């Protein structure tokens, strides 16, 4: 959803006085509240993997009164195009995906060579079909807004010392441990940062609670673990005031990028060739893995994988020293 903001920005650049409404699943709904380009946001309360026929139909029927000029469906699944279809809008744009003939009236071809980056694929849906595809550096970057009152409240609540560097570690990542830098490496970095006088917080979802606890135990230091203790909006506001964020390839990595803060993005089984952090202040560190991208992203674990060389603690340490000095 973070990269979708590039599409929203692009649409506003093209159309004066645009009214843009967005439908979102519950787990990323909060992000829309920090995107000033969005007029109204609607939550589609369907669990992952569920069809949700009735929910999609009811929402589409509800939105007919808005009389949209265009509906853009970003996911490629058949079910995701249903709500736009039931909005009764004549121009319904999206990639053909799962044979969505009839559901879409403006069908686009997914040309992966012409559209290597996910953000390009999003932005292209807001352009005319025969438009030139913008290069990555021509696309407006996501930029989330921040609630400064909430920032101040969290700074007080955590007792943060404004005279110390604040570092955020975000050790979680969906789709298995192959994307997650090992806890012992995060622990080594956390220990060094603490010894150097930095304050270290751990951010993540409730699913990352055990991982954060393991990092704290292995570091032998008292860290501020907030995994599962913040809302998505709280995480945005906390990240806005850190001096450096270190993470795997994850949703929080993209949120940090959209806040334009210094960050280290660690890629292991995934690669930045498709979803890089859209942030000029980001430093990307890539593990070595002698597999094609299409095969490596399917890996759930890297145990026993030949030709794998992980991102080292030394390489992260070196980047930290460079970024912190800046």
Which residue ranges in the chain fall short of pLDDT 50?
Answer: none
The partner residues of 55 in beta bridges, in order of sequence, read none
Q: Is the pTM of this model over 0.85?
A: yes
Q: Do domains 4-138 and 148-325 have the same CATH topology?
A: yes
> Which CATH number does the domain 4-138 belong to among 3.30.200.20, 3.40.50.2000, 3.40.50.300, 3.10.20.440?
3.40.50.2000
At the fourth CATH level, the homologous superfamily of domain 148-325 is: Glycogen Phosphorylase B; (3.40.50.2000)
Token couple for 98? 């799962």
Angle of helix 251-258 versus helix 232-239 axis, rounded to 10? 50
- CA–CA distances in Å: residue 159 to residues 153, 156, 199, 225: 10, 5, 10, 14
Q: From start to end of the chain, where are the E strands?
A: 21-24, 40-43, 71-72, 92-95, 106-108, 166-170, 199-202, 224-225, 244-248, 263-267, 282-286, 288-289, 308-309
pLDDT confidence of residue 295: 66
pLDDT value of residue 238: 97
Instruction: Report the pLDDT value the prediction gives residue 325, as an integer from 0 to 100.
Output: 67
Q: What pLDDT was estimated at residue 218?
A: 97
**How do residues 241-283 score in pLDDT, each as one tens digit?**
999 999 999 999 999 999 999 999 999 988 898 999 999 999 9
Tokens 């009164």 belong to 65
What are the residues whose beta carbons fall under 8 Å from the beta carbon of 47, sequence distance 6 or more? none
> Nearest 5°: CA angle at 84, between 20 and 25?
70
CA-angle at 206, arms to 205 and 207, nearest 5°: 85
Q: DSSP letter at 224?
A: E
Are residues 241 and 267 in contact, defined by beta-carbon separation less than 8 angstroms?
A: no
Annotated domain spans of the chain: 4-138, 148-325
HSE, CB side, 13 Å, CA atoms: give it for residue 265.
27
């Amino acid at each position: 959803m973070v990269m979708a903001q590039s599409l929203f920005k692009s649409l506003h650049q093209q159309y004066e006085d645009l009214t843009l409404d967005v439908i979102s699943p519950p787990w990323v709904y909060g992000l829309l509240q920090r995107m000033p380009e969005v007029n109204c946001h609607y939550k589609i309360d369907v669990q992952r993997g569920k069809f949700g026929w009735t929910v999609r139909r009811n929402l589409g029927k509800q939105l007919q009164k808005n009389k949209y000029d265009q509906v853009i469906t970003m996911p490629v699944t058949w079910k995701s195009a249903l709500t736009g279809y039931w909005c009764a809008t004549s121009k319904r744009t999206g990639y053909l995906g799962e044979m969505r003939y009839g559901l879409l009236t403006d069908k686009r071809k997914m040309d992966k060579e012409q559209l290597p980056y996910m953000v390009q694929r999003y932005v292209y849906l807001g352009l005319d079909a025969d438009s030139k595809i913008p290069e990555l550096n021509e696309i407006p970057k996501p930029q989330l807004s921040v609630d400064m009152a909430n920032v101040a409240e969290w700074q007080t609540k955590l007792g943060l010392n404004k005279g110390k560097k604040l570092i955020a570690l975000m050790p979680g990542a969906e789709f298995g441990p192959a994307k997650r830098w090992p806890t012992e490496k995060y622990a080594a970095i956390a220990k060094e940062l603490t010894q150097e006088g930095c304050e270290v917080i751990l951010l993540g979802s409730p699913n990352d609670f055990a991982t954060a606890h393991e990092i704290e135990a292995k570091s032998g230091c008292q860290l501020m673990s907030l995994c599962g203790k913040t809302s998505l909006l709280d995480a945005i506001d906390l990240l806005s005031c850190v001096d450096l964020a270190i993470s795997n390839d994850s949703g929080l990595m993209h949120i940090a990028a959209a806040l334009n803060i210094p960050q280290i993005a660690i890629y292991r089984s995934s690669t930045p060739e498709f979803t890089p952090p859209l942030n000029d202040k980001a430093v990307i560190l890539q593990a070595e893995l002698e597999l094609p991208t299409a095969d490596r992203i399917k890996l759930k674990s890297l145990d026993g994988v030949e030709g794998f060389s992980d991102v080292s603690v030394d390489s992260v340490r070196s980047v930290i020293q460079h970024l912190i000095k800046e």
